[in-house]
Structure 1
């Protein structure tokens, strides 16, 4: 029997666990370089997130048609739930990924686009998102080569989607 005590980074640093932190803080805690995180993200060992504030775009949520009648999304589109209730009560994804507000016109909400196929249904919502969203692309190490240290992410996804969601992506509207 192995009596060796294993400690995680939080126990070793005598601090409560962090749900998230900046890259510079994580590098300091783990005694590594920011470049290490970019590399680990690019090879798929970890997923990096970005903290956003009111970014406009299109959220696409794909569900399996087998469970469509029990999907919390159905309750939302039926008007039974608000979008915040959908994410808070039914935990469609992490509370750290927020839909700030749905896009509206003077006549009300912009209706979602619903595409139903033989196996899946995809809902497209025009909205604003905030807080933490996962970076989908696996080539952010290019930041190290870019003199401006600027990177434009075209696809994000909510953190920790539930099993009832096959996929979710958010495409920011790009300023032209």
Structure 2
């Protein structure tokens, strides 16, 4: 190879530079050792996660909130403050994304995805800074207008990953999750794992979720406890009216559903 490694290129071009098959690159992307990217059409809807730990990502969201990075870009909807969800480590806000974004999963056991979102939501990662973009199905809350069709020839790889593959010729590539980049890791379902000294244990998190679910059951009924999203997202529901009456912003229904779906109510045996 007599020319510098490009900042990014198609998988076809990368396979020729490295001397491997496109399927090899997809394999490395599937197991998480490199990032396979796609070029997202302009004005594609997504729920963008912006991490607070990067001071440069804290924008004036009273007006437009945007990031026009080197490759990955997003622009929020009008009046973003009305739509933003504020969490301990991040903001989540509906936006329009475009440019080059990494796919957290690019294939399933060697079969490259040809359409996204595929099964459930799809997580895309910013190539410039620690952003995430969640794509959801058309018709869902802030889902894409239409499914995106992709083929291996439409997929890209960053120059840093090309260099990494070349440097590990004949060796096993280290898993990206072991590199501790920015102390942030992401599960395929979009759950964020932020490594922090004061991070709560799984047992503590589940206990709190169990308490909330039990409280919803005792104050309302089993349907509210098991299906909180349809009540929190309905502005006319009893629980939404109660939040408004107290002047409290209710949590997003989808978020509450995710919190509570993994735990059960601890009923006492023998008492009904």
TM exceeding 0.5: yes
Give yes or no for contact 1:49–1:132 (8 Å, CA) kept in 2. Answer: yes
Q: Which runs of structure 2 are paired with 1:34-113 in the superposition (5 Å)?
A: 34-54=22-42, 55-64=44-53, 71-77=55-61, 83-84=65-66, 87=67, 95-99=70-74, 101-104=75-78, 108-109=79-80, 111-113=82-84
Give the paired residue count: 134
TM-superposed deviation, 1:38: 0.8
- Structure 2: stretches of 5+ with no match in the other structure: 140-272
* TM-score for both structures, normalised by structure 2: 0.43
Q: CA separation in 1, counterparts of 2:83 and 2:58?
A: 12
Q: CA separation in 2, counterparts of 1:29 and 1:56?
A: 34
What is residue 114 of structure 1 aligned with on the other side?
Answer: 85
Q: Deviations over 1:116-170 (max 9, x none)?
A: 3xxx2421221111111111126444425xxxx6243511111142xxx5xx321
Q: CA separation in 2, counterparts of 1:17 and 1:138?
A: 23
Matched, 1:174 2:142: no
Q: Deviations over 1:57-104 (max 9, x none)?
A: 11012324xx8xxx334442255xx645xx46xxxxx511111x3223
| Runs of 4+ residues over 6 Å off in structure 1 | none
SS of 2:137's equivalent in the other structure is coil
Give yes or no for contact 2:84–2:94 (8 Å, CA) kept in 1. Answer: no
Q: Measured at CA, do residues 23 and 140 of structure 1 come closer, stay the same or move farther in structure 2, by a change above 3 Å? A: farther
Give yes or no for contact 1:143–1:151 (8 Å, CA) kept in 2. Answer: no
What is residue 98 of structure 2 aligned with on the other side?
Answer: 130
RMSD between aligned residues? 2.7
* TM-score for both structures, normalised by structure 1: 0.63
- Structure 1: stretches of 5+ with no match in the other structure: 1-11, 89-93
